[in-house]
Amino acid sequence: MKRNSDQELSLESNRTNRSYRLLIKILVIIGITILALAGGAYWYFLQTYDEIEYMEIPETDEDLGITEETENEINIFENNKSIINVLLFGIDKRSDEETGRSDSIMILTIDPVNNKIKLSSLMRDTRVSIKDYGDNKLGHAYAYGGPELAIHTINKNFRLNIRHYASINYGGLINIIDSVGGIYANVKEDEIDMVNKYTNDTAYVEGLNFSLITKSGYQLLDGVQAVGYSRIRKVGDGDYERTERQRTVLSGIIRKLTDLSVIELPGVIRRLASNVETNITSSYMLKVGSSILNAGISDISQSRFPTDDHSYGEMINGSWFLVFDEYDTVDELHNFIFSDQ
Protein backbone atom coordinates (compact mmCIF):
# COMPACT_ATOMS: atom_id res chain seq x y z
CA MET A 1 0.00 0.00 0.00
CA LYS A 2 1.24 3.49 -0.83
CA ARG A 3 0.96 5.00 2.61
CA ASN A 4 2.82 8.22 3.32
CA SER A 5 3.23 8.57 7.07
CA ASP A 6 5.01 11.93 6.84
CA GLN A 7 2.12 13.35 4.89
CA GLU A 8 -0.37 12.01 7.42
CA LEU A 9 1.54 13.66 10.28
CA SER A 10 1.63 16.91 8.35
CA LEU A 11 -2.09 16.68 7.74
CA GLU A 12 -2.81 16.14 11.42
CA SER A 13 -0.64 19.09 12.46
CA ASN A 14 -2.68 21.49 10.34
CA ARG A 15 -6.03 20.71 11.96
CA THR A 16 -6.34 24.12 13.61
CA ASN A 17 -6.38 25.94 10.28
CA ARG A 18 -8.89 24.11 8.23
CA SER A 19 -12.56 24.56 8.90
CA TYR A 20 -13.07 28.18 7.96
CA ARG A 21 -13.12 27.81 4.17
CA LEU A 22 -16.06 25.48 4.47
CA LEU A 23 -18.96 25.63 2.07
CA ILE A 24 -18.15 28.55 -0.14
CA LYS A 25 -18.47 26.37 -3.20
CA ILE A 26 -22.13 25.91 -2.35
CA LEU A 27 -22.46 29.63 -2.75
CA VAL A 28 -20.75 29.38 -6.11
CA ILE A 29 -23.37 27.02 -7.36
CA ILE A 30 -26.32 28.80 -5.78
CA GLY A 31 -25.02 32.32 -6.24
CA ILE A 32 -23.80 32.07 -9.81
CA THR A 33 -26.92 30.31 -11.02
CA ILE A 34 -29.20 32.85 -9.36
CA LEU A 35 -27.21 35.54 -11.15
CA ALA A 36 -27.16 33.69 -14.44
CA LEU A 37 -30.90 33.23 -14.53
CA ALA A 38 -31.84 36.67 -13.26
CA GLY A 39 -33.27 38.82 -16.05
CA GLY A 40 -30.76 39.56 -18.78
CA ALA A 41 -27.68 38.40 -16.83
CA TYR A 42 -26.72 35.42 -18.97
CA TRP A 43 -23.81 37.25 -20.63
CA TYR A 44 -22.35 38.13 -17.24
CA PHE A 45 -22.55 34.53 -16.12
CA LEU A 46 -20.49 33.40 -19.12
CA GLN A 47 -17.87 36.07 -18.47
CA THR A 48 -17.66 35.20 -14.79
CA TYR A 49 -17.55 31.47 -15.42
CA ASP A 50 -14.33 31.92 -17.42
CA GLU A 51 -12.64 32.93 -14.15
CA ILE A 52 -13.41 29.57 -12.55
CA GLU A 53 -10.60 27.02 -12.80
CA TYR A 54 -12.08 24.23 -14.88
CA MET A 55 -10.53 20.82 -14.24
CA GLU A 56 -10.90 17.76 -16.40
CA ILE A 57 -10.77 14.50 -14.47
CA PRO A 58 -11.32 10.91 -15.64
CA GLU A 59 -15.05 10.29 -15.81
CA THR A 60 -15.46 6.55 -16.32
CA ASP A 61 -17.47 4.63 -13.74
CA GLU A 62 -14.34 2.76 -12.67
CA ASP A 63 -12.35 5.97 -12.19
CA LEU A 64 -15.13 7.50 -10.08
CA GLY A 65 -15.92 4.42 -8.00
CA ILE A 66 -19.40 3.91 -9.46
CA THR A 67 -20.48 0.27 -9.66
CA GLU A 68 -23.41 -1.52 -11.21
CA GLU A 69 -24.53 -2.49 -7.71
CA THR A 70 -24.62 1.18 -6.74
CA GLU A 71 -26.67 2.13 -9.78
CA ASN A 72 -29.15 -0.65 -9.00
CA GLU A 73 -29.52 0.55 -5.40
CA ILE A 74 -30.13 4.14 -6.47
CA ASN A 75 -32.52 3.19 -9.26
CA ILE A 76 -35.05 1.85 -6.75
CA PHE A 77 -35.80 5.47 -5.79
CA GLU A 78 -38.56 6.84 -7.99
CA ASN A 79 -37.13 10.35 -8.20
CA ASN A 80 -33.46 9.44 -8.67
CA LYS A 81 -33.32 10.74 -12.26
CA SER A 82 -34.50 14.18 -11.15
CA ILE A 83 -31.89 14.55 -8.41
CA ILE A 84 -28.73 16.58 -9.05
CA ASN A 85 -25.78 15.89 -6.72
CA VAL A 86 -22.54 17.85 -6.56
CA LEU A 87 -19.64 17.13 -4.19
CA LEU A 88 -18.28 20.20 -2.44
CA PHE A 89 -14.79 20.31 -0.96
CA GLY A 90 -13.31 22.98 1.29
CA ILE A 91 -9.57 22.46 1.04
CA ASP A 92 -6.53 23.54 3.02
CA LYS A 93 -4.16 24.69 0.29
CA ARG A 94 -1.32 27.06 1.12
CA SER A 95 0.34 27.25 -2.31
CA ASP A 96 -0.38 26.50 -5.96
CA GLU A 97 1.99 23.55 -5.78
CA GLU A 98 -0.06 21.80 -3.08
CA THR A 99 -3.01 19.52 -3.78
CA GLY A 100 -4.44 20.39 -0.38
CA ARG A 101 -6.77 18.24 1.62
CA SER A 102 -10.49 18.44 2.17
CA ASP A 103 -11.37 19.88 5.56
CA SER A 104 -15.06 20.09 4.79
CA ILE A 105 -16.91 17.62 2.59
CA MET A 106 -20.52 18.09 1.61
CA ILE A 107 -23.00 16.83 -0.94
CA LEU A 108 -25.20 19.52 -2.45
CA THR A 109 -28.46 17.95 -3.61
CA ILE A 110 -30.96 19.71 -5.84
CA ASP A 111 -34.33 17.97 -5.41
CA PRO A 112 -36.88 19.63 -7.72
CA VAL A 113 -39.54 17.03 -6.92
CA ASN A 114 -39.63 17.92 -3.23
CA ASN A 115 -38.64 21.56 -3.88
CA LYS A 116 -35.57 21.37 -1.67
CA ILE A 117 -31.88 21.99 -1.58
CA LYS A 118 -30.23 19.41 0.69
CA LEU A 119 -26.82 19.66 2.33
CA SER A 120 -25.26 16.40 3.54
CA SER A 121 -22.10 16.83 5.61
CA LEU A 122 -19.67 13.91 5.55
CA MET A 123 -17.46 13.81 8.64
CA ARG A 124 -13.83 14.09 7.58
CA ASP A 125 -12.56 11.71 10.29
CA THR A 126 -14.79 8.89 9.08
CA ARG A 127 -12.79 5.68 8.61
CA VAL A 128 -13.13 4.59 5.00
CA SER A 129 -11.34 2.46 2.45
CA ILE A 130 -9.20 4.57 0.08
CA LYS A 131 -8.05 3.02 -3.17
CA ASP A 132 -4.34 2.06 -2.96
CA TYR A 133 -4.05 3.51 0.57
CA GLY A 134 -6.14 1.14 2.67
CA ASP A 135 -8.30 2.29 5.59
CA ASN A 136 -7.84 5.92 6.53
CA LYS A 137 -9.69 9.17 7.21
CA LEU A 138 -12.08 10.38 4.55
CA GLY A 139 -10.49 13.83 4.65
CA HIS A 140 -7.14 12.39 3.53
CA ALA A 141 -8.36 11.09 0.16
CA TYR A 142 -8.19 14.53 -1.47
CA ALA A 143 -4.58 15.02 -0.38
CA TYR A 144 -3.57 11.60 -1.66
CA GLY A 145 -5.16 11.86 -5.09
CA GLY A 146 -7.01 15.14 -5.54
CA PRO A 147 -10.70 15.37 -6.43
CA GLU A 148 -10.68 12.19 -8.52
CA LEU A 149 -9.62 9.97 -5.60
CA ALA A 150 -11.89 11.86 -3.20
CA ILE A 151 -14.91 11.32 -5.47
CA HIS A 152 -13.96 7.66 -5.94
CA THR A 153 -13.68 7.18 -2.17
CA ILE A 154 -17.04 8.77 -1.42
CA ASN A 155 -18.87 6.94 -4.18
CA LYS A 156 -17.33 3.60 -3.22
CA ASN A 157 -17.86 3.83 0.54
CA PHE A 158 -21.29 5.47 0.50
CA ARG A 159 -22.51 3.76 -2.69
CA LEU A 160 -23.22 6.91 -4.66
CA ASN A 161 -22.89 7.90 -8.32
CA ILE A 162 -21.70 11.51 -8.10
CA ARG A 163 -19.69 12.85 -11.05
CA HIS A 164 -19.40 16.60 -10.41
CA TYR A 165 -17.49 18.53 -7.77
CA ALA A 166 -16.40 22.03 -6.80
CA SER A 167 -13.44 22.89 -4.55
CA ILE A 168 -12.29 26.10 -2.93
CA ASN A 169 -9.46 26.99 -0.58
CA TYR A 170 -9.91 29.00 2.58
CA GLY A 171 -8.65 32.34 1.31
CA GLY A 172 -11.89 33.59 -0.19
CA LEU A 173 -14.32 33.18 2.69
CA ILE A 174 -13.43 36.39 4.52
CA ASN A 175 -13.85 38.47 1.37
CA ILE A 176 -17.15 36.79 0.54
CA ILE A 177 -18.60 37.47 3.98
CA ASP A 178 -17.42 41.06 3.94
CA SER A 179 -18.78 41.55 0.42
CA VAL A 180 -22.30 40.69 1.62
CA GLY A 181 -22.00 42.92 4.68
CA GLY A 182 -21.20 40.28 7.28
CA ILE A 183 -23.41 37.58 8.77
CA TYR A 184 -25.41 37.25 11.99
CA ALA A 185 -24.69 34.62 14.63
CA ASN A 186 -25.69 33.98 18.23
CA VAL A 187 -22.37 33.93 20.08
CA LYS A 188 -22.57 32.18 23.44
CA GLU A 189 -20.83 33.55 26.53
CA ASP A 190 -18.42 30.60 26.69
CA GLU A 191 -17.52 31.04 23.03
CA ILE A 192 -16.28 34.63 23.19
CA ASP A 193 -12.67 33.88 24.21
CA MET A 194 -12.27 31.17 21.58
CA VAL A 195 -13.85 33.29 18.85
CA ASN A 196 -11.39 36.07 19.65
CA LYS A 197 -8.48 33.62 19.74
CA TYR A 198 -9.25 32.28 16.28
CA THR A 199 -10.13 35.75 14.96
CA ASN A 200 -6.68 36.94 16.04
CA ASP A 201 -5.03 33.89 14.48
CA THR A 202 -6.97 34.20 11.22
CA ALA A 203 -6.20 37.91 10.89
CA TYR A 204 -2.51 37.23 11.47
CA VAL A 205 -2.36 34.50 8.80
CA GLU A 206 -4.23 36.64 6.27
CA GLY A 207 -2.49 39.91 7.16
CA LEU A 208 -5.73 41.68 8.07
CA ASN A 209 -6.94 44.05 10.74
CA PHE A 210 -9.58 42.76 13.14
CA SER A 211 -11.91 43.71 15.98
CA LEU A 212 -12.58 41.57 19.02
CA ILE A 213 -16.04 40.47 20.10
CA THR A 214 -16.92 42.02 23.47
CA LYS A 215 -20.35 40.57 24.25
CA SER A 216 -22.45 37.47 23.79
CA GLY A 217 -25.74 37.28 21.92
CA TYR A 218 -27.09 37.63 18.41
CA GLN A 219 -24.83 40.03 16.53
CA LEU A 220 -23.32 40.96 13.18
CA LEU A 221 -19.91 39.40 12.49
CA ASP A 222 -17.51 40.62 9.85
CA GLY A 223 -15.51 38.22 7.69
CA VAL A 224 -12.59 37.66 10.07
CA GLN A 225 -14.87 37.28 13.09
CA ALA A 226 -17.17 34.87 11.27
CA VAL A 227 -14.21 32.74 10.24
CA GLY A 228 -12.97 32.75 13.82
CA TYR A 229 -16.44 31.70 14.97
CA SER A 230 -16.55 28.80 12.49
CA ARG A 231 -13.14 27.51 13.60
CA ILE A 232 -14.00 26.93 17.27
CA ARG A 233 -13.30 23.33 18.26
CA LYS A 234 -12.87 23.16 22.03
CA VAL A 235 -16.15 24.68 23.19
CA GLY A 236 -19.27 22.56 23.22
CA ASP A 237 -19.41 19.18 21.50
CA GLY A 238 -16.17 19.38 19.54
CA ASP A 239 -16.31 18.71 15.82
CA TYR A 240 -20.04 18.06 15.88
CA GLU A 241 -20.97 21.48 17.27
CA ARG A 242 -18.40 23.12 15.05
CA THR A 243 -20.27 21.85 11.99
CA GLU A 244 -23.36 23.58 13.39
CA ARG A 245 -21.45 26.86 13.58
CA GLN A 246 -20.26 26.36 10.03
CA ARG A 247 -23.82 25.87 8.86
CA THR A 248 -24.79 29.05 10.72
CA VAL A 249 -22.16 30.95 8.75
CA LEU A 250 -23.24 29.39 5.45
CA SER A 251 -26.92 30.06 6.10
CA GLY A 252 -26.08 33.65 6.95
CA ILE A 253 -24.26 34.09 3.65
CA ILE A 254 -27.11 32.54 1.69
CA ARG A 255 -29.64 34.84 3.36
CA LYS A 256 -27.51 37.85 2.51
CA LEU A 257 -27.10 36.67 -1.08
CA THR A 258 -30.83 36.34 -1.58
CA ASP A 259 -31.25 39.95 -0.44
CA LEU A 260 -28.75 41.33 -2.94
CA SER A 261 -29.95 43.15 -6.03
CA VAL A 262 -28.87 42.11 -9.51
CA ILE A 263 -26.60 45.16 -9.52
CA GLU A 264 -24.85 44.11 -6.29
CA LEU A 265 -24.62 40.40 -7.04
CA PRO A 266 -21.98 40.42 -9.84
CA GLY A 267 -19.21 41.69 -7.55
CA VAL A 268 -19.91 38.93 -5.04
CA ILE A 269 -20.05 36.29 -7.75
CA ARG A 270 -16.75 37.46 -9.20
CA ARG A 271 -15.09 36.98 -5.82
CA LEU A 272 -16.54 33.50 -5.61
CA ALA A 273 -15.54 32.52 -9.11
CA SER A 274 -11.89 33.45 -8.72
CA ASN A 275 -11.51 30.97 -5.85
CA VAL A 276 -13.21 27.93 -7.37
CA GLU A 277 -11.95 24.76 -9.06
CA THR A 278 -14.54 22.48 -10.63
CA ASN A 279 -15.31 19.98 -13.39
CA ILE A 280 -18.78 21.49 -13.86
CA THR A 281 -19.28 22.95 -17.32
CA SER A 282 -21.12 26.22 -17.84
CA SER A 283 -24.02 24.36 -19.47
CA TYR A 284 -24.36 22.01 -16.49
CA MET A 285 -24.12 24.94 -14.09
CA LEU A 286 -27.07 26.52 -15.87
CA LYS A 287 -28.96 23.23 -15.65
CA VAL A 288 -28.48 23.29 -11.87
CA GLY A 289 -29.68 26.87 -11.72
CA SER A 290 -32.68 26.11 -13.88
CA SER A 291 -33.66 23.24 -11.59
CA ILE A 292 -33.53 25.54 -8.58
CA LEU A 293 -35.50 28.40 -10.08
CA ASN A 294 -37.99 26.45 -12.16
CA ALA A 295 -38.98 24.37 -9.15
CA GLY A 296 -39.23 27.45 -6.95
CA ILE A 297 -36.82 25.92 -4.45
CA SER A 298 -36.37 27.94 -1.28
CA ASP A 299 -36.14 25.34 1.49
CA ILE A 300 -32.73 24.04 2.62
CA SER A 301 -32.56 20.75 4.54
CA GLN A 302 -29.37 19.75 6.33
CA SER A 303 -28.02 16.55 7.81
CA ARG A 304 -24.74 14.95 8.88
CA PHE A 305 -23.42 11.50 8.10
CA PRO A 306 -22.58 9.19 9.73
CA THR A 307 -25.21 9.94 12.36
CA ASP A 308 -24.61 9.38 16.06
CA ASP A 309 -26.86 6.32 16.05
CA HIS A 310 -24.66 4.50 13.57
CA SER A 311 -21.10 5.55 14.42
CA TYR A 312 -18.63 5.73 17.30
CA GLY A 313 -15.19 7.19 17.94
CA GLU A 314 -12.19 4.92 18.32
CA MET A 315 -8.41 5.35 18.63
CA ILE A 316 -6.68 3.20 16.00
CA ASN A 317 -2.88 3.18 15.74
CA GLY A 318 -2.70 6.46 17.63
CA SER A 319 -5.28 8.33 15.55
CA TRP A 320 -8.93 9.07 16.31
CA PHE A 321 -11.41 7.72 13.79
CA LEU A 322 -15.15 7.85 13.40
CA VAL A 323 -16.12 4.25 12.72
CA PHE A 324 -19.52 3.78 11.11
CA ASP A 325 -22.04 1.09 10.30
CA GLU A 326 -21.92 1.03 6.51
CA TYR A 327 -25.29 -0.59 5.86
CA ASP A 328 -27.34 1.73 8.10
CA THR A 329 -25.39 4.85 7.12
CA VAL A 330 -25.79 4.23 3.40
CA ASP A 331 -29.48 3.52 3.92
CA GLU A 332 -29.98 6.79 5.83
CA LEU A 333 -27.94 8.83 3.34
CA HIS A 334 -29.74 7.42 0.31
CA ASN A 335 -33.15 8.04 1.88
CA PHE A 336 -32.22 11.62 2.74
CA ILE A 337 -30.89 12.40 -0.74
CA PHE A 338 -33.25 10.47 -2.98
CA SER A 339 -36.55 10.22 -1.09
CA ASP A 340 -36.49 13.16 1.33
CA GLN A 341 -36.65 11.04 4.49
Measure CA of the first residue to CA of the last residue in the chain; give whole Å: 39
* Same domain, residue pair 58 and 167: yes
* Same domain, residue pair 159 and 202: no
Burial (CB count <10 Å: 0-12, 13-18, 19+), residue 151 = buried
* Same domain, residue pair 319 and 333: yes
Domain count, the chain: 2
- CATH number for position 26: 3.30.420.590
Q: Spell out the per-residue pLDDT of the chain, length 341, in tens.
A: 444 544 444 444 444 344 334 344 444 444 444 444 443 444 455 555 555 677 888 889 999 999 999 999 999 999 898 898 999 887 765 555 555 667 778 898 888 888 888 888 898 899 999 999 999 999 999 999 999 999 999 999 999 999 999 887 666 678 778 878 899 999 999 999 999 998 998 888 778 899 999 999 999 999 999 988 987 877 766 666 777 787 778 777 767 766 666 566 666 666 666 667 888 876 777 666 666 656 666 677 888 899 999 999 999 999 999 999 999 999 999 999 999 77
* Same domain, residue pair 22 and 85: yes
CB 180 within 8 A of CB 257: yes
Residue 176 lies in a domain: no
β-pairing verdict for 276-278 and 53-54: parallel
Q: Report d(CA 100, CA 317) in Å as an integer.
A: 24
* Residue ending a domain, choose from 224, 256, 288: 256
Residue 246 sits in which domain range? 181-256
* Same domain, residue pair 74 and 153: yes
